[in-house]
A and B are shown apart, each in its own frame.
Chain A
């Protein structure tokens, strides 16, 4: 069983819409949860992290965590074409980061 699972997509949304990206994880002992954005051929860049149940907002991005369901999501409001990328969910356990396979997001003008 994979540590972190994501739908590979692609997820297509029109410009200005809300994009919803989901992730589940298997290790209940996981401490922190991260969303990274990766453009083709580039290294991942951190969008935000969350470690408490509930929502965390940063600009157009909102991360949601439900530890009971082992589920973390990322909402992108007012999606822009520049948001088109692969979004990686990462989970930190004991001093290790595990990544999901990523969800490819296409924002259509």
Chain B
């Protein structure tokens, strides 16, 4: 299957700082990328859907000013958690969809800990 690389795999940051997570499709062009958040023992919660070159579509209850998503190219999307707080600590996962394909491929995930 196609490869999606997510970086960093884990990060610890201080409360009030911002953290950027990158999601790259290595061997295909991703027309759509999805960002999920997963708290311990819970399912993946879709945060937003981003299409290359356009603004991301956020799910209800997700603050777009706090979780900045940029999908500037067909192989890269970034999620920036701004002014992070301990309650933002979670496992963030991206997935990428190649245009015309049915399945999406997941990155390795990023474990964010805000102290």
Contacts and interface: CB of A to CB of B under 8 A. Distances in A.
A36 B62 CA distance: 24
Contacts of B105: 46
Contacts of A100: 43
B95 to A, nearest CB: 7
Contacts of B111: 41
Contacts of A43: 6, 93, 106-109
Interface string B43-65: 11010010000000000000000
A25 interface: no
Contact of B102 (A45, A49, A96, A102): A49
A37 to B, nearest CB: 11
Interface residues of B, number: 23
A95 B48 CA distance: 11
Contacts of A34: 103
Interface string B1-43: 1000010000000000000000000000000101010000011
A32 B102 contact: yes
B46 A44 contact: no
A99 B105 CA distance: 14
Contacts of B36: 99
A45 B106 contact: yes
Contacts of A80: none
Contacts of A95: 32, 49, 97
Given A95-B32, A96-B46, A51 B102 contact: yes
9 contacts: A32-B103, A34-B103, A43-B109, A46-B1, A46-B103, A46-B106, A88-B43, A96-B34, A97-B46
Interface of B: 1, 6, 32, 34, 36, 42-44, 46, 49, 91, 93, 95, 97, 102-109, 111
Interface of A: 31-32, 34, 41-46, 49, 51, 88, 92, 95-102
